[in-house]
Each structure stands twice: as C-alpha cells, then as structure tokens.
Amino acid sequence: MPCHVVLGGQWGDEGKGKIVDYLAAGAHAVVRFQGGANAGHTLVLGGRRLALHLVPSGIGHPGCLGVLGNGMVIDPVALLEEIASLEKLGLEVRGRLRVSSAAHVVLPCHVLQDRVEERRRGGSPVGTTGRGVGPAYADKAARQGVQMGIFLRPEGEARARLRETLERKRELLQALDPGVDFDVDAMLGPVLACREQVAPLVCDTTALLQDLLDEGRRILLEGAQGAMLDLDHGTYPYVTSSSCTSAGALVGSGVPPQEVAAVTGVVKAYATRVGNGPFPTELAGEEGDRLRQIGQEYGATTGRARRCGWFDAVAVRHAARVSGFTELAVTKLDVLDGFESLRVAVGYEQDGKKLRRMPVGAEDLERCRPEYVEFAGWRTSTQGCRSLLDLPGGARRYLDLLQEHAGIPVRIVSVGPDRDSTFRA
C-alpha cells in the first residue's frame, strides 16, 4: 500500500503544499487530483518562495514526477505560464510533468462565465477565484466539456471541437447577459497556440499510476482547497466545485482504495477562510487582524485577505470522519507564539441545542455559535524548534488539546515557512 493522501482539514489554505513537499522526499510521484488554478500552494525552497497553482508540490524534489490527474480542470495557458516561471527559477519541470488526457480544459469562456455568474449573484456571491473552475466542472457534468486529450488530436479536429464549444458558450453568455460578447477566433487562438507544448505532457495518467503501484513505487495524492469547501460535505453553496476528500483523491487519480496506506489531514493551529460563507470561530477586530498580520494570511491565488479565527475542532472532526484521517499535520504553530491566551471550539450551540457534529449546509451552520475551551499561551518562540521536545510546554499541551478534541493524533508539526521547520511529532 504505497499511496499516501494529503488533504485540507479546514477551509483551505492550511499549508498542504508545504506538507506535501515535506512528505515527498523519497516519493516517486505527486498527484494533484482535483481543482485547477484556483489552488495556491506555497513552498519556500532555499529562500525562494514558489506559489504553485497547477503544478504538484513535489516539484521541489529532483526525480519526483508531477502528475495532473483526471479529476482536475486545467487552463493550458496558465499551465504553460506556471511551467515557464518555475523553469526560470532553475527547476526542471517539463521532463517530469504528466497531464491526464481525461482532465478537462478550462477555456477563456469559462473564466468569463465565472465572472458573469458571480456578478449575477448580486449581494450573495460565492466568492470564487474567477479562474473558470466552476463552469468547467459544470460542463464536465453536463457532458459538454473538452478533455485535455484534445491536444493530441489533429489540429483541424481540435480547432473544430473547440470552436463548437466556444460558439455554444457565447450563446449561453449572451442569454445570461446581452452585454457580454467575445470574438470566437480571438479566444480560440491562445488555446490552440498551447498545443505544441502541451501535447508532449498529455497521457493516460491512470495507467501510469497503476504501473507505478505495480512496481511498489511511493505515490502522494495532493488535495487542493479543504474539507469544509467540499462540494458534497462542505458548507454548500459556499464551496468549491470538486471533491476535496479521500474519496475524491481516488476518483480523481484512478488509484484504488486498497492502495492507500495513510491519510494526512493538514490543519492550521488556528483557522482561516477566504470568500463568503459561515465561519463559526471568525474573529472580528483586533485579534483577527493580529492573526492575519502575523500569519500573513493573504491568498496565494487572489491576494485576498483571509478571514481568521480560532481552531475549530468540530470542523476538523467532521473532516477526519469524512476522509478517514490517520494523522494530523499542524502548521503555523509559530503564529500563536505571542498570544497570552488561546481558544479552541469544541462544540456548537444552535437555537439552544448543543451540537458536537457539523450540521449540513451553510444555513444551519450560520446559526451555530462556538463553545470554547480557553488555553494559556506560551509566549515563547517556537521557530527554532526541530522536535516535539524542543517546543515550550504550553505549545506541547496545545497540540495535545487539538488532538484530543479532533480525535486524531498530531504526527507532523510546522513552525515556519522553510522545509526544515517541519518535523515529526
């Protein structure tokens, strides 16, 4: 069972990229299995900061194969731009990147549709990144999408298929908003221009991964977003358009469940959320601002300020049950170093009723108020710590509290942005 799944246990932005990079030492492949360029996984390697959106977070390890799985939706223009930016930093990418022929293409019309639909929601926007991810998944489900295998087809056939899609989308968008229009040929040009560079990367990645598994190779499956943004198990409708769970990892990669040995749930030592939707432990005012500034909580994809709050053990328990976490990786513990006191939400109260489980959907969660346990801070820097024993006693007790109320053991701790600031607990 050489497969290891790494997932977000909160509302995304938990530091999954950093944990994947840490775990990728000795891995043969790292697979992104869902989402698209709406992801923002940040690595700090040798003092260089890399913001990854499509390329898997194992790219910092020479010899590690990066795989964009069948469950993804991929903007080919954005992919080539990201590859070029990474290669400019001296990383070898093209020779060790593979793209599923069954993944779906995000076209410029999807980006336009994303923005039109968000604008039409008026005062109740979802808060998407505007990268066209949702509309591309909608077309996939409606059996109207275009798969990445289109870049392997003869140019005339690819052009005709893409033109058909763009013309249909143009009609749809004009029906939504008569003021929206675009030139099909102008929109088609940049996509077709990607064909020569993208085609060598495209293959049957499910077959590739199955061959690696047969050889006993170690594979990491890297999730984007987080459990509370999952299309089925998150705070619907304020969710992403794909499955961020361990089940989604299997569907989006073609890896069978019996090959999975471990599932790491990545959580921050506090909580953040980008975009709209309920966030029970959100801190308004000075404490929230303080967390944001110390933690530099701004989106790697959008640059938007993240909403900040205390650790929510109810949400993490929900994520752990849905995805079968075998361990927790706690990131940004160092952000809490200067706080005199901390809080952890261990339950909710909804309309006078005590809850220990996450309610279904955004409307019910919006009516929940957290029940906290108070915890004294440690007021000592953890940034130089490289083992559990190095941590101040208060920080160790805080981790004990998190694992007690989340119901999952903390096995990995991160106390800074660099690779060497992560250690096994």
Residues taking part in catalysis: 13, 41
Going by their DSSP bridges, the two strands 41-45 and 48-52 should be labelled as: antiparallel
In this structure, are residues 6 and 12 in contact, taking their beta carbons and an 8 Å threshold? Answer: no
In this structure, are residues 231 and 134 in contact, taking their beta carbons and an 8 Å threshold? Answer: no
CA dist 73 to 202, 334, 363, 388, Å? 13, 35, 29, 39
Q: What angle do CA 173, 191, 155 make, to 5 degrees?
A: 115
Q: What angle do CA 373, 378, 380 make, to 5 degrees?
A: 155
CB neighbour list of residue 232: distance below 8 Å, 6 or more residues apart? 243, 245
Cis peptide leading into 237, omega within 30 of 0?
A: yes
Q: Which residues pair with 343 in a beta bridge?
A: 374
Q: What angle do CA 36, 199, 104 make, to 5 degrees?
A: 30
Going by their DSSP bridges, the two strands 341-350 and 311-312 should be labelled as: parallel
